[in-house]
Amino acid sequence: MDKLCLLLSLLLLGAFGFVNGGKSKEKKVFKVEVIELKTGNISAKFTNYGASVMSIIVPDKNGKPGDIVLGYDSTDAYKNDETYFGNVVGRVANRIRDGRFSLNGKEYQLRPHENGKHLLHGGHGALADAIWEVKKVKKDVADPTVLFSYDSPDGEEGFPGEVKITVRYLLRPDNRLRVTMKAKAIKQATPLNLVQHTYWNLGNHDSGDILSEELQLFANQITPIDNERIPTGKLEPVKGTPYDFLESRVIGSRINQLPGGYDINYVIEGPDDPIRMKKTAIVKDPRTGRVMKLTSNQPGMQFYTGNLLKDVKGKGGVIYKAHAGLCLLTQGFPDAVHHPNFPSIIVSPGKPYKHKMQFKFKIASDKDNKSDGKKSDAKKSDKS
């Protein structure tokens, strides 16, 4: 190791907070694992690299199982990934303007990396690239589960205070995936906004693009962004715009009116009550008949159509191109640290963080096709 390298390592150690008040703190090292869970007709693979979802397999309308998330076959590939496939992202997902914020009268400079300016997704080498501890695995039960944990040290990527984070994945035999992300600030208040960054393609991960899938969002408003992709602080109604998914719509129908595709935070309807699970999104894939219903307790959801995917070599050698998958990232609002009118993302020792999501998979039935509005209403009145 040459001197520059050694110096850099020492600087990094300092920046990551391993050297704590003069006392060096041993950081536990874990090996990368893959955990497979199965129940009923659903099975899934997870890895503790980034606490990630690697695959989810559910039947299509003919009973044929298929993998509906984008990803890689080997955990090694996750180390070189730049798409955040299936990762848990944080400490603060999305962008923080200029990579800085102030909290309780103190200014914090983060380690910005987007154009050397804004902080994106908590910084590189953060949660998505950490090897989490596999705390608990329960297989051979009706509701199999895996629990990952990660202790983010004081000062990681410039964020104040130590935070202990857990992510639990649980499968249910009626084709549900439940995700619970919890965090506790140990001594100091700090911003926190985790997302689960799975890319979905209900037509199977290798079926091409998601443009023919239908989407309904329970959101009347978005938080519009400026030309650096950071919220202006305003809320804007979606009705009548290309962002309008108040009724189920084909995703590709108006995507060409937006530069690159969808990448925006929606304001999910309903009370901002962390206890309540709210209807968030419904996706339907006409090719396979699969339906996914998402509920969550979060105030926002980033809808992203994989605009930046560019010839990514994924599972089975499949090449993922733009729009090969879609992300429904339940979250607090982006750049909330700079917008007092947005729901607060500050956690503190007395105010822990709990983010819940449920993904329910099924096959389209008459009831699900009701959003075709008049057609099914007509059917109903025929019957009566």
Ligand X SMILES: *[C@@H]1O[C@H](CO)[C@@H](O)[C@H](O)[C@H]1NC(C)=O
Task: Decide whether 25 or 61 has the Cβ nearer to ligand X.
Answer: 61
Segment lying near ligand X (by CB under 6 A), choices 195-203, 245-253, 281-289, 352-360: 281-289
Closest CA to 261 of 210, 219, 221, 318: 210
| CB atoms near residue 281 (< 10 Å) | 23
Gap between the Cα atoms of 199 and 313, Å rounded:
14
Note whether 40 binds ligand X by CB under 6 A: yes
Shortest reach from residue 345's CB to ligand X, in Å: 36
Task: Decide whether 174 or 273 has the Cβ nearer to ligand X.
Answer: 174
Note whether 175 binds ligand X by CB under 6 A: yes
Candidates 205, 284, 290, 355: give the one binding ligand X (CB under 6 A). Answer: 284
Q: Both ends of the chain: CA-CA distance in Å?
A: 81
Shortest reach from residue 103's CB to ligand X, in Å: 47
Candidates 149, 221, 344, 369: give the one binding ligand X (CB under 6 A). Answer: 369
Gap between the Cα atoms of 291 and 232, Å rounded:
34
Question: Is there a binding annotation on residue 229?
Answer: no
Is the CB of residue 183 less than 8 Å from the CB of residue 156? no
Note whether 57 binds ligand X by CB under 6 A: no
SS3 content of the chain, % helix, strand, coil (to 5): 15, 40, 45
Residue whose token pair is 């923080």: 96
Note whether 352 binds ligand X by CB under 6 A: no
Shortest reach from residue 72's CB to ligand X, in Å: 28
Q: Is the peptide bond before 287 cis (omega within 30 degrees of 0)?
A: no
Residue whose token pair is 């595709």: 261
Segment lying near ligand X (by CB under 6 A), choices 149-157, 241-249, 264-272, 363-371: 363-371
Closest CA to 298 of 264, 263, 253, 344: 344
Question: Is there a binding annotation on residue 266?
Answer: no
Shortest reach from residue 178's CB to ligand X, in Å: 15
The residue count for binding ligand X (CB under 6 A) is 13
Gap between the Cα atoms of 177 and 191, Å rounded:
27
CA pseudo-torsion sign 99, 101, 107, 110: negative
Shortest reach from residue 356's CB to ligand X, in Å: 22
Tokens of 36: 């497979």
x-or-dash string of contact with ligand X, 287-316, rule CB under 6 A: --x---------------------------
Candidates 22, 63, 240, 271: give the one binding ligand X (CB under 6 A). Answer: 63
Instruction: Determine whether 195 is exposed, middle or buried from the number of CB atoms within 10 Å of its CB (0-12, 13-18, 19+).
Output: buried
Task: Decide whether 63 or 271 has the Cβ nearer to ligand X.
Answer: 63
Residue 18 DSSP class: -
Note whether 107 binds ligand X by CB under 6 A: no
Candidates 76, 143, 174, 273: give the one binding ligand X (CB under 6 A). Answer: 174
Question: Where is 6: in which H helix or E strand?
Answer: helix 3-15
Shortest reach from residue 210's CB to ligand X, in Å: 14
Q: Known binding site for beta-D-galactose: residues?
A: 94-95, 197-199, 263
Chain contacts with ligand X (rule: CB under 6 A): 40-41, 61, 63, 174-175, 284, 286, 289, 364-366, 369
